[in-house]
Structure 1
Amino acid sequence: MNSADQHDRPQDRHIGDLIRDARNLSASEVEQVLRYQRERGVRFGEAAVALGLASPEDVLNALAQQFHYPLATAARRDASPELVTLTQPFSVQAEAVRAVRSQVTMRWNKPDAQRQALAVISPASGDGKTYFAANLAVSLAQLGGRTLLVDADLRSPRQHEVFGVSNSAGLSTLLSGRAEHQVIQPVEGVAGLFVLPCGPIPPNPLELIERPAFGLLVRELASKFDHVVIDTAAAALGADACVVAARCGAALVLTRKHENKVVALQDLVASLAGSTVQFVGAVVNEFTS
């Protein structure tokens, strides 16, 4: 790569250049921004916004290009409002997910250990597993590498809705031996993130999860991706979550403030006693409707 090519890379360009090109600013408008910047001692982006020559979104887009940080388009924000780590990267919710990510990565998939998938489990429906698993997967992908989100909730799957991908085939068709084409789908706008949706809801969800094929699939996926996050059905609906956690080898427990009873959480943890599942932590969802 020659020096000219390097200079053309977004991360090597000044934010002013990126904003100028995005807004098609004239030379006189750029000079106006620079003069405002010098007089008030602010950044180029702040000056451009103050003068009405750029929007805050223009500044965020330029920063995202410089730092290789995926930022959702307006269309993605409208289609996937639950993906706060992508659509609202500087929100309190996104910061909370990133804080959990930091704690999880310190405990999960240590360099000297065999790579494992991570099951997100909780006692009841409505605890926020789908929301949390989706945003955790996005935040892991933002670190670089390849991340896969698997929807193993074969009772009431929603990840295909969250990410806007097809659910005509997925985990259920793989486990039943009916998958005729590639079922792992890349997520548009997030480099390195892939989703394996549930597929058609089967009449025998627990039996599919208990088959040896699921354990083999999980191990294969864990060997091919840097991170594999698996969404699960609520423990109150059956033993699915515990079986998935056992096949993954690692689990993160989610509970909802003022909603879950302590005994339900204790029962969920106790149901995995004696297994080799590593609990990497517990998350309290403080959202109240």
Structure 2
Amino acid sequence: MSRIDDGVGAGVVRGDGAQERGPFADRSIGSIIAESRNLNAEQVEQVLRYQRDHGVRFGEAAVALGLASSDDVLFALSQQFHYPYAPGENRVGSPELVTLNAPFGYQAESFRAIRSQLMMRVYNDERARTAIAVVSPDSGDGKTFFAANIAATLAQLGGRTLLIDADMRGPRQHEVFGIENKSGLSGILSGRSESKVIQQVAGIPSLFVLPVGITPPNPLELVERPAFGLLIRELIGKFDHVIVDTPAAVYGSDCAVIAARCGAGLIIARRNSARVDALHEMLSDLSNATMNVVGVVINDL
């Protein structure tokens, strides 16, 4: 665990990217742990004595004495640095959401490294704002897993982030985030009057999801309609980051059409599984479209 000084002030990032003061603002890690674990004065003194005798931090001392868990320490750190974290029984959605449920692990760190690349290549002042379509040659490449986690990681920066599930052949984002799927993208593109189609993820004020809704019989026709491009342009203007999950290329040309409407595509391929010829074909198809191929991610998570 990183040794981070106690006593650093923090707040909660609002959906508009500004900070508002949270219940643990300007509090030490020790005081946060003591309050969240309901430690009495005698127990706090016991921890402080162990801390002095062994030259460790309050959290480490509390864990060593069995008065707190590692989850408690991580929660306290997340509160100080206004970093979304769901400890223990409060896990967000599916275990697949490693960037929310285990934000200090190596998998989450891998997503943060990719986020840094995206911020430099896509989300900078020199480029026109675009959405990013997450595409893959075949099913099982981890595209939905990647789209969910990269969206969550972008939201952790504080900017309003929207994840669109445009995989109208096998939608899963509503399952990953544990949200309703009664209405969504398919209804909008079909011209139906839909309400509350964009849902905020509980506990993450800057992360929103637009699910598929009813799975349609004509997914390719829906994304080929002008309405889809108009919708993407409208949402790009309302959110700081827009990530779009797509069907695998093996199911048809939906992903190429969606990526072209988004303006940027990021290819996901699974290590030791993806066929080189399929990957080259996808790169060629996307490069020929009027869009920016951001890069290729080899998934071994």
User: Is the structural similarity TM-score above 0.5?
Assistant: yes
The aligned length equals: 283
Matches within 5 A, 1:191-230: 191-230=205-244
* Equivalent residue in structure 2 for 1:250, among 260, 264, 275: 264
Deviation at 1:113, TM superposition (A): 2.5
Q: Counterparts of 1:43 and 1:7 in 2: how far apart (Å)?
A: 25
State TM-score, norm by structure 1.
Answer: 0.94
Q: Is contact 1:11–1:67 with CA below 8 Å preserved after alignment?
A: no
Could you report, residue by residue, the CA deviation over 1:75-106 in whole angstroms, capped at 9, with x for unpaired residues?
A: 44384100001111122211111111111111
Q: Is contact 2:75–2:86 with CA below 8 Å preserved after alignment?
A: no
Query: Residue 232 of structure 1 aligns with which residue?
Result: 246
Which amino acid counterpart does residue 136 of structure 1 have in structure 2?
Answer: I
Moved more, 173-182 or 119-128: 173-182
Q: Counterparts of 2:21 and 2:97 in 1: how far apart (Å)?
A: 33
Structure with greater proportional helix content: 1
Q: Does 1:38 align with 2:66?
A: no
Is there any run of 5+ residues in structure 2 with no aligned partner, and where?
1-10, 12-19
Quickly say closer, same or farther: Cα 1:8–1:280, change in 2 above 3 A: closer
Deviation at 1:7, TM superposition (A): 9.3
Deviation at 1:110, TM superposition (A): 2.0
Query: Residue 109 of structure 1 aligns with which residue?
Result: 123
Q: Does 1:148 align with 2:162?
A: yes
Q: Counterparts of 2:170 and 2:196 in 1: how far apart (Å)?
A: 22
Matches within 5 A, 1:261-272: 261-272=275-286
Query: Residue 86 of structure 1 aligns with which residue?
Result: 100
Q: Is contact 2:92–2:100 with CA below 8 Å preserved after alignment?
A: no
Could you report, residue by residue, the CA deviation over 1:235-285 in whole angstroms, capped at 9, with x for unpaired residues?
A: 110000000000000111111111111110111111123322111111001
Query: Residue 63 of structure 2 aligns with which residue?
Result: 49
Deviation at 1:8, TM superposition (A): 7.5
Query: Residue 126 of structure 1 aligns with which residue?
Result: 140
Deviation at 1:132, TM superposition (A): 0.3
Is there any run of 5+ residues in structure 1 with no aligned partner, and where?
none
Could you report, residue by residue, the CA deviation over 1:198-237 in whole angstroms, capped at 9, with x for unpaired residues?
A: 1111010000000000000000001100000000000110
Is the partner of 1:272 in helix, strand or coil? helix
Quickly say closer, same or farther: Cα 1:8–1:191, change in 2 above 3 A: closer
Moved more, 71-80 or 125-134: 71-80
Q: Counterparts of 1:215 and 1:8 in 2: how far apart (Å)?
A: 39
Query: Residue 299 of structure 2 aligns with which residue?
Result: 285
Q: Counterparts of 1:192 and 1:77 in 2: how far apart (Å)?
A: 17
Percent of residue pairs bearing the same amino acid type: 60
Quickly say closer, same or farther: Cα 1:79–1:147, change in 2 above 3 A: closer
Could you report, residue by residue, the CA deviation over 1:108-158 in whole angstroms, capped at 9, with x for unpaired residues?
A: 132132210000001001110000000000000001110000000010000
Query: Residue 99 of structure 1 aligns with which residue?
Result: 113
Which amino acid counterpart does residue 21 of structure 1 have in structure 2?
Answer: E
Is the partner of 1:137 in helix, strand or coil? helix
Q: Counterparts of 2:165 and 2:21 in 1: how far apart (Å)?
A: 41
Q: Counterparts of 2:67 and 2:33 in 1: how far apart (Å)?
A: 9
Is the partner of 2:209 in helix, strand or coil? strand
State TM-score, norm by structure 2.
Answer: 0.90
Q: Is contact 1:173–1:199 with CA below 8 Å preserved after alignment?
A: yes
Deviation at 1:11, TM superposition (A): 3.2
Q: Is contact 1:147–1:227 with CA below 8 Å preserved after alignment?
A: yes
Query: Residue 182 of structure 2 aligns with which residue?
Result: 168
Is the partner of 1:273 in helix, strand or coil? helix
Q: Counterparts of 2:21 and 2:136 in 1: how far apart (Å)?
A: 49
Quickly say closer, same or farther: Cα 1:250–1:14, change in 2 above 3 A: same
Q: Is contact 2:97–2:149 with CA below 8 Å preserved after alignment?
A: yes
Q: Is contact 1:250–1:278 with CA below 8 Å preserved after alignment?
A: yes
Is the partner of 1:103 in helix, strand or coil? helix
Query: Residue 75 of structure 2 aligns with which residue?
Result: 61
Q: Is contact 1:170–1:179 with CA below 8 Å preserved after alignment?
A: no
